[in-house]
């Protein structure tokens, strides 16, 4: 692996990793609330979120581009064509996935378990932590699905990142570039790197997930 490829790989991992982390921080509590609380419009909201799980990256990229572009509402932040813009777009793609999986895995816990923790006197934060540990299988599946979806997407990264060689080129956009240049072998090699990256991350998460399996 040459230095250029290494830089792109690290950048890919950093951008998608940051977006995944943010989507967990935001998505898990929302999923937890959706699983625990009953309110008007909850089912419809879940429907929207489940639709969001399959959102086309290109469309999300376009929307983020419209928001961040110089003449757009958030143009003053000068974020367009930066790694930050890519994190924002990937975050928007990953969050519905995290929320959807999280809601399902919290809902599959026994309601009696929640009763037990309430009677034992668990506060809100403690409750979330203990239940998250119980729902670990589903939550780690959420992380894998989210990371897998955004590390492999190309549309949003291309549009909001601009595929700038020095700052925003990631593995997927690099593959597109190399292919269009006719550098098929290099494109293929990058493809293998992407797969290897996915493999390493997912194997690590799977080990964490299956440890002490019930």
Partner 1 sequence: MDIRLEDVSCRRGGRDVLGIPSLSIASGRVTAVLGPNGAGKTTLLRLIAGLDRPYSGKVLVGGETADARRRCVSYLFQEQVFLRQSLLDNLELGLQLHGASDAEARERAIAGLQLLGIESLADRRADQISGGEGRRASLARALSLASPVLLLDEPMAGLDGRTYTRLLDELPPLLGAFAATTVVVTHDREEAFRLCDDVVILVGGRVRAVGTKQEVATNPRHREVAEVLGYTVLTAGGCLVATPETGFTLAPAPTALSAVVERVTDVVDHWEVVATIGETRVHVRAPRSDTPPTPGDHVWLRTSVMYELS
The 60-99 contact track toward partner 1, x by CB under 8 A, reads ----------------------------------------
**Residue (134 or 153) nearer to partner 1, CB:** 134
Choose the stretch contacting partner 1; rule: CB under 8 A; options: 16-24, 31-39, 60-68, 110-118.
110-118
149: Cβ–Cβ under 8 A, 6 or more apart, which residues? 93, 94, 97
Q: Which of 43, 76, 112, 211 binds partner 1 (CB under 8 A)?
A: 112
Alpha-carbon distance 32 to 199, whole Å? 28
From residue 203, how far is each of 57, 140, 182, 192, 206 by CA, in Å? 25, 11, 33, 16, 5
Q: Which of 53, 80, 90, 134 binds partner 1 (CB under 8 A)?
A: 134
Closest residue by Cα to residue 190 from 163, 172, 165, 167: 172
The answer to the question of residue 118 lying near partner 1 (CB under 8 A) is yes
The answer to the question of residue 38 lying near partner 1 (CB under 8 A) is no
Radius of gyration of the CA atoms of the chain, in A: 19
The answer to the question of residue 119 lying near partner 1 (CB under 8 A) is yes
The answer to the question of residue 211 lying near partner 1 (CB under 8 A) is no
Helix (H) or strand (E) holding 25: helix 3-36
Q: Are 155 and 58 contacting, i.e. CB atoms less than 8 angstroms apart?
A: yes
**Residue (70 or 118) nearer to partner 1, CB:** 118
Alpha-carbon distance 31 to 96, whole Å? 9
Q: Which residues bind partner 1 (CB under 8 A)?
A: 110, 112-113, 115-122, 126, 130, 133-134, 212, 214
């Amino acid at each position: 692996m040459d230095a250029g490829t290494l830089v792109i790989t690290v950048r890919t991992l950093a951008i998608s990793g940051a977006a995944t982390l943010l989507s967990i921080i935001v998505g898990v509590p929302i999923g937890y609330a959706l699983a625990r609380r009953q309110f008007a419009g909850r089912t419809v909201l879940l429907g929207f979120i489940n639709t969001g799980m399959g959102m086309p990256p290109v469309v999300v990229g376009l929307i983020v581009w419209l928001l961040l572009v110089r003449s757009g509402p958030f143009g003053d932040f000068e974020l367009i064509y930066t790694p930050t813009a890519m994190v924002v777009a990937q975050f928007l793609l990953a969050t519905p996935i995290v929320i959807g999986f999280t809601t399902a895995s919290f809902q599959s816990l026994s309601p009696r378990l929640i009763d037990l923790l309430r009677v034992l006197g668990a506060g809100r934060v403690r409750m979330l932590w203990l239940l998250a540990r119980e729902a670990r299988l589903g939550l780690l599946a959420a992380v894998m699905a989210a990371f897998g979806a955004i590390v492999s997407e190309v549309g949003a990264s291309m549009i909001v990142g601009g595929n700038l060689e020095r700052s925003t080129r990631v593995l997927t956009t690099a593959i597109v570039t190399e292919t269009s240049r006719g550098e098929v072998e290099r494109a293929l090699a990058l493809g293998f790197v992407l797969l290897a990256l996915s493999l390493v991350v997912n194997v690590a998460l799977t080990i964490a997930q299956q440890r002490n399996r019930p």
